[in-house]
Structure 1
Amino acid sequence: MTRPLRVAVIGAGPAGIYASDLLMKSGQEVAIDLYEMMPAPFGLIRYGVAPDHPRIKGIVMSLHKVMESPQLRLLGNIEVGKDVTIEELKQFYDAIVFSTGAYGDRDLNIPGADLPEHYGAGEFVGFYDGNPNFSRDWNLEAEQVAVIGVGNVALDIARVLAKTGDELHVTEIPDNVYQNLKNNKAKEVHVFGRRGPAQAKFTPLELKELNHSDTIEVVVDPEDIVYDEAGEQARRDSKTVDLVCQVLEGYAMADPSDAPHKLYIHFLHSPVEIIEKDGHVAGLKTERMELDGNGQVTGTGEFHEWPVQAVYRAVGYQSDPVAGVPFDENRFVIPNDGGHVLDPETGAPIAGLYCTGWIKRGPVGLIGNTKSDAKQTIDMLVGDYTAGALDTPAQPEVDAVVRFLQDKNIEFTTWQGWHRLDAAEQALGQQEGRERHKIVEWDDMVRHAKYQEGDLDG
């Protein structure tokens, strides 16, 4: 009697769920366990998307359909590499796929970066999305704020800081987030990019949404709307780039409004120093840049100082290593050939280990990139399996790993448990006239979602 291909997928965000979906559609009989460090699934869809973006969170509906498959089990509240080792998992699975994403913030290596009011984007996103790994309180005393970066995360941070707490209360934000945001004193939010508008990484819809609030006026200096040959070519080659430039041009030509909060977008300004006074942030110093014709920039030697009391860097996320798995400390990815995890000493694939998503390629690209990424990895895995290149695990029975986790007294959560947690959050929201009220305390999430007898049946 043949048995199913046993695969452990580590990380229950979009990358891991898409990889699982492709495995189930591969034509092979499979049994997949999807491991997640958090008590709840969905990764950055739950903990990395601004609360006023329900359209993006609609992706969860498609992910739900995948998770309902009987070939797939969620095993949450388990940190692989810590609660269970890679060597321990190998005894239960033919293959292990790492899709652990990226949560950490890349550094901003300029003077003043160590000041207390300089924050990483991921820290603030974790706060307002109710991630239990991050702070419950936030210092929002600054009336003037700088956001460094020209991607959608920078826009999310700028928009959340520029909105009122009451505007955001209709979303799923937890009480502690609302209490902080309703006392937010920010009146000016300045977003800085070192290159020109054609090099910005915004998407058009997110950029358009900035002024949907009556409390926000978006301001772009017409002198910042500059294109070189590379920028003009980028507009001709990409409808998205052209739309972004059109929206920015519209903001630059708009008449002033009396909205109480101003959201400035600055181009061709490179941060060179966070200015300190008495141990705190007192400003941001930037150098004016000029385009070189190839889409890159050079400094002009002209400097500007902006009076701000807080600085947020949105210059990219970075992945953390998984204990027992090779990791490139310079690129913050698992070394790979497009799917196989590679031995850093020999450069050869390590049998049975694979990676996908941001831990594979770095924190770039959207959902479409994540899907194509997963296909490349799963094609390699299935090819290795059909070629007989995978080692046979000692205990491939689907119940064996559950007994192992129970013997280790690991209190894991399940997909059925997620339904209980989901229902509890929706019930709390309905009491307040909202769709959902997110539960943020780790132990509370586990209490709702932990394994119960019958959860893994069928």
Structure 2
Amino acid sequence: MLRVAVVGSGPSGCYTAQSLVQREPEAYVDVLDRLPCPYGLVRYGVAPDHEKIKSLQDSLRAVLEHERVRFLGGVPIGSRGVPAARLRELYHAVVYCVGAAADRHLGIPGEDLPGSWSATEFVSWYSAHPDAADDGFVRDARQAVVVGVGNVAVDVTRMLARGPAELSCTDMPQAALTALAASRVTDIHMVGRRGPSQARFTTKELRELGTLPDTDVVVDPAELALDPDCADPAALPGARRRNVEVLRGWAGAPASGAARRIRLRFFLRPVELLADGGRVGAVRFERTAPDGRGGVTGTGRYEEIEAQLVLRSVGYRGVPLEGLPFDADRGTVPHLAGRVLRAGVVAPGEYVAGWIKRGPTGVIGTNRPCAKETVLSLLEDAPVLVRRDVPGDPLAALRAEGIEPVGWAGWRAIERAEAELGASLGRGVVKLPDWDSLLAAARAAAP
């Protein structure tokens, strides 16, 4: 019998567990998560209006309901929970699938002004993450600037532009729905430092902006003209070519006089957030120009865009996990084909998969081959790993040390509570937004 702990219940963790039990009939897997709820960024990162992507939870559920897989939520790893060294004693192998929890910073003056947030914080708020800041993100804001031109930037832009009728049918927490319904934001500027042909959003996500009710999408033809690849995009890769075609279509469209405007801006690099009354009041940008090598260079010309809300969407970054080595430059755990390296030497029984292994790259499906590589390494090592004695049931050892995980029955009780909350509000399922309500619901399932 091979006992494995997988730390993290998002896609990379679930795919790792799935690959293990499919490839090794004697493998038993405990999937541990700091949160009492499974699914990671599928639950707390996918936009609430993207029901098709969120339905991926159904396939992840099938993994966690496998007879040789056990979900143990509410189990932090580190000094405030189970130390990594102790976890290693309880299992033959441990696979860390903890993602990239931090956001990258702009590193410019004024970035910490009230009203300036990372897109990650905004997403956590409208996704009901129990650690989210309970703050009025959109309070008193009429103009917003979203720094970045990737899919997360598109998501937060779309959430700012959607009306209450479109959001009430989602699982968005009631407080966020109420705040967004009362929002007075009319102009949202999504800004990239490079050109349209280098934007990282997918065409499907980009096109969604043009389908929002009572919302105009505005593209400046002059900024398209600055990008040499926009003159004749035929030579661009397919996705980038389609993006340029969509943007060119919007650049030639007349304004309809809609209540809201999404302005897609390019070749602008943020250099400072400017204060107004102690809060952010504008963003100062430097105009950039293509440098002929795929990058941009400053021109010395500046522009200010008024904004009472700034959302920074410039990427994620892994954070150190207590007890594991960490490459601060890359934001990942050093590894060899998924095997953790300590001072350049393989650490027996310790593995990584997902973003903490390769960095925040790829889409959800990218985690499958990443998990497979790690699992193949683990199973190659298994004949040696199983020689070490471990407790017959790690859960009993955890409970003896005062840790009472939220099991699958507790998670199902949370699901029922969220369905009941939604029904009481005249909506569908509505997420519970805080630790107290989540844990209270989970305890209702305790025998």
Bin for the TM-score computed over the shorter chain? over 0.9
The yes-or-no answer on 1:58 pairing with 2:55 is yes
Report the residue type matching 1:405 in the other structure: L
Query: Where does residue 111 of structure 1 map in the other structure?
Result: 109
Q: Give yes or no for contact 1:132–1:440 (8 Å, CA) kept in 2.
A: yes
Q: Give yes or no for contact 2:131–2:434 (8 Å, CA) kept in 1.
A: no
How much does 1:56 deviate? 1.2
CA distance in 2: counterparts of 1:5 and 1:320, whole angstroms: 29
Q: Give yes or no for contact 1:189–1:264 (8 Å, CA) kept in 2.
A: yes
Q: Secondary structure at the match of 2:271?
A: strand
Report the residue type matching 1:123 in the other structure: E
Q: Give yes or no for contact 2:225–2:231 (8 Å, CA) kept in 1.
A: no
Query: Where does residue 264 of structure 2 map in the other structure?
Result: 265
Query: Where does residue 430 of structure 1 map in the other structure?
Result: 423
The equivalences for 1:111-260 within 5 A come to 111-140=109-138, 141-226=140-225, 236=235, 238-260=237-259
The yes-or-no answer on 1:372 pairing with 2:374 is no
Q: Give yes or no for contact 2:203–2:243 (8 Å, CA) kept in 1.
A: yes
Query: Where does residue 21 of structure 1 map in the other structure?
Result: 18
Q: Secondary structure at the match of 2:23?
A: coil
The yes-or-no answer on 1:381 pairing with 2:378 is yes
Q: Give yes or no for contact 1:352–1:391 (8 Å, CA) kept in 2.
A: no
CA distance in 1: counterparts of 2:367 and 2:391, whole angstroms: 29
Query: Where does residue 88 of structure 2 map in the other structure?
Result: 90
Shift in alpha-carbon separation, 1:448–1:174, aligned structure 2, 3 A = same
The equivalences for 1:246-395 within 5 A come to 246-343=245-342, 345=343, 347-386=344-383, 388=384, 390=385, 392-395=387-390
Q: Secondary structure at the match of 2:335?
A: coil
Shift in alpha-carbon separation, 1:233–1:253, aligned structure 2, 3 A = closer
CA distance in 2: counterparts of 1:383 and 1:453, whole angstroms: 39
CA distance in 2: counterparts of 1:228 and 1:40, whole angstroms: 45
Report the count of equivalent residues: 445
CA distance in 2: counterparts of 1:134 and 1:34, whole angstroms: 23
How much does 1:232 deviate? 8.5
Q: Give yes or no for contact 1:163–1:215 (8 Å, CA) kept in 2.
A: no
Q: Give yes or no for contact 2:226–2:289 (8 Å, CA) kept in 1.
A: no
Q: Secondary structure at the match of 1:225?
A: helix
Choose which of 36, 39, 43 in structure 2 pairs with 1:42: 39
Q: Secondary structure at the match of 1:119?
A: strand
Q: Give yes or no for contact 1:23–1:30 (8 Å, CA) kept in 2.
A: yes
Q: Deviations over 1:38-95 (max 9, x none)?
A: 0100111111111111121011111111111011000000101131111211222111
How much does 1:20 deviate? 0.8
How much does 1:237 deviate? 5.7
Report the residue type matching 1:428 in the other structure: L
The more displaced of 61-70 and 422-431 is 422-431
CA distance in 2: counterparts of 1:26 and 1:70, whole angstroms: 14
CA distance in 2: counterparts of 1:306 and 1:97, whole angstroms: 46
Q: Deviations over 1:275-333 (max 9, x none)?
A: 22343212111111111233211112221111112211001122222111111222221
Q: Give yes or no for contact 1:5–1:28 (8 Å, CA) kept in 2.
A: no
Choose which of 410, 433, 441 in structure 2 pairs with 1:448: 441
Report the residue type matching 2:112 in the other structure: D
The yes-or-no answer on 1:404 pairing with 2:397 is yes
The yes-or-no answer on 1:78 pairing with 2:71 is no
For the aligned residue pairs, the C-alpha RMSD in angstroms reads: 2.1
The more displaced of 132-141 and 107-116 is 132-141
Choose which of 403, 406, 420 in structure 2 pairs with 1:413: 406
Q: Secondary structure at the match of 1:41?
A: coil
How much does 1:432 deviate? 3.7
Report the residue type matching 1:217 in the other structure: D
CA distance in 2: counterparts of 1:430 and 1:439, whole angstroms: 13
CA distance in 2: counterparts of 1:404 and 1:241, whole angstroms: 53
Shift in alpha-carbon separation, 1:385–1:146, aligned structure 2, 3 A = same
Q: Secondary structure at the match of 2:57?
A: helix
CA distance in 1: counterparts of 2:270 and 2:164, whole angstroms: 29
Q: Structure 1: where are the runs of 5+ without partners?
A: none
Q: Give yes or no for contact 1:8–1:33 (8 Å, CA) kept in 2.
A: yes
Q: Secondary structure at the match of 2:299?
A: strand
CA distance in 2: counterparts of 1:172 and 1:80, whole angstroms: 29
Q: Deviations over 1:234-273 (max 9, x none)?
A: 8646322222222222221222112101111111111111
Q: Secondary structure at the match of 2:350?
A: strand
Identity value in percent: 39
Shift in alpha-carbon separation, 1:287–1:369, aligned structure 2, 3 A = same
Report the residue type matching 1:394 in the other structure: D
Q: Give yes or no for contact 1:230–1:295 (8 Å, CA) kept in 2.
A: no
Shift in alpha-carbon separation, 1:382–1:435, aligned structure 2, 3 A = same
Given the two structures, how large is their TM-score scaled by the length of structure 1? 0.92
Q: Secondary structure at the match of 1:78?
A: coil
Q: Secondary structure at the match of 2:284?
A: strand
The more displaced of 440-449 and 304-313 is 440-449
Shift in alpha-carbon separation, 1:180–1:373, aligned structure 2, 3 A = same
Report the residue type matching 2:39 in the other structure: F
Q: Give yes or no for contact 2:137–2:309 (8 Å, CA) kept in 1.
A: no
Q: Secondary structure at the match of 2:311?
A: strand
Q: Give yes or no for contact 1:338–1:360 (8 Å, CA) kept in 2.
A: no
CA distance in 2: counterparts of 1:229 and 1:412, whole angstroms: 56
